[in-house]
Amino acid sequence: MDSGTDRIEAQRKSIDPQSLYDVSVSGREPDERPIAWRGVLPQKTHQLPNWIDPQIEEIRKWANGVRYLKCPRRIASSHFTTESYSPGAHDTNGMHAPMALAANNDLWDSVREWYRKAFGVSLELKTEGRYFDLTVRSNSNGANIPLDQSGAGLSQVLPVAVAALTANQSEPGVDIIKHPETGLQPAAHAHVAELFLENLAKCERSTILETHSEMILLRTRRWIAEKRLSPEDVLVYWLYVDPDDGAGLRKITINERGQMGNSPHGIFSEDYEEVLAIRRAIAHNEAMNMNAHNIGPSTAIDSNVQ
């Protein structure tokens, strides 16, 4: 951490959770001391130089603006009430997402329209006294079932949609969402990408997505190539494991054409390689069939001649 004139560096001496740290201030010889942590912040700042206190306090204020959605998520899809719901509330499970819909008509309309466009289904709120049930109805067969029993990842993506569509109404901060595509068919991943990309330009909050979806990355690159998004607005990091050094991050650049640079060999190319392999197999089989068709009659004639 840097104060502008002083710099403090702390390095743990071993992987033991109770290990001491080598703490060096402004390049001076490090000394051993314990550091207690609460998350990523020092819990007892008196163990460190006094100038660190104001910086830690600023980080704590900023952290109040962080909304984090873990995976898998768990929502209250049936028999919930909004009586104890606070509009500014957020939980890591996404449990409050249905309550947010029931309490905000504009948000309900936006989420319902997105589900219709992305999945071809209708979200429905059934009211029983002061309780609500959240169901989903297929526009193809008319079946109406509880959202958490609908499958296809429709319940997992609900808190994601609520987070994306309320980002521009929230205080400055950052949204951290793990695997927004969980449970969805690959074709639906592009709809999730569009949901975030369309709201990015309207919002001062940053969004961090942890994803295994190549489609989300491809749609982002397409937006950059189509000049709908600046490459400066996107950062891509590949998390890898090195047998010697442990986990690490590699920054992957994207230019104004949507092309990626310095990406690891074999990463993000599996789909393309599979398509090439299929085309090669088709071409090979067609060639074999053609050769069999052409060779067969001449072989028979030769046999008769003999």
The stretch 240-245 carries a mean pLDDT of 78
Model confidence pLDDT, tens digit, residues 20-35: 888 887 777 888 878 8
**Quick one: 175 exposed, middle or buried, by C-beta within 10 A (0-12, 13-18, 19+)?**
buried
The stretch 39-58 carries a mean pLDDT of 70
The secondary structure of the chain in percent helix, strand, coil, rounded to multiples of 5, reads 40, 25, 40
pLDDT tier for residue 56 given thresholds of 50, 70 and 90: confident
According to DSSP, residue 282 is labeled H
- Per-residue tokens: 114: 């997105």
Instruction: Give me the pLDDT at residue 44, please.
Output: 63
Question: Model pTM?
Answer: 0.73
Instruction: Give me the pLDDT at residue 180, please.
Output: 96
Q: Give 91's contacts (C-beta < 8 A, 6+ positions apart).
A: none
Model confidence pLDDT, tens digit, residues 177-212: 999 999 999 889 999 999 999 987 677 788 999 999
Instruction: Give me the pLDDT at residue 16, please.
Output: 79
Instruction: Give me the pLDDT at residue 151, please.
Output: 76
Supply the mean pLDDT for the chain. 81
Model confidence pLDDT, tens digit, residues 115-172: 999 999 999 888 888 888 888 887 667 778 888 888 768 999 999 999 999 988 877 7
**Lowest-confidence range among 19-33, 40-54, 211-225, 279-293?**
40-54
Instruction: Give me the pLDDT at residue 302, please.
Output: 39
Long-range contacts of 241-246 (CB under 8 A, 24+ apart): none
pLDDT higher at 261 or 78? 261
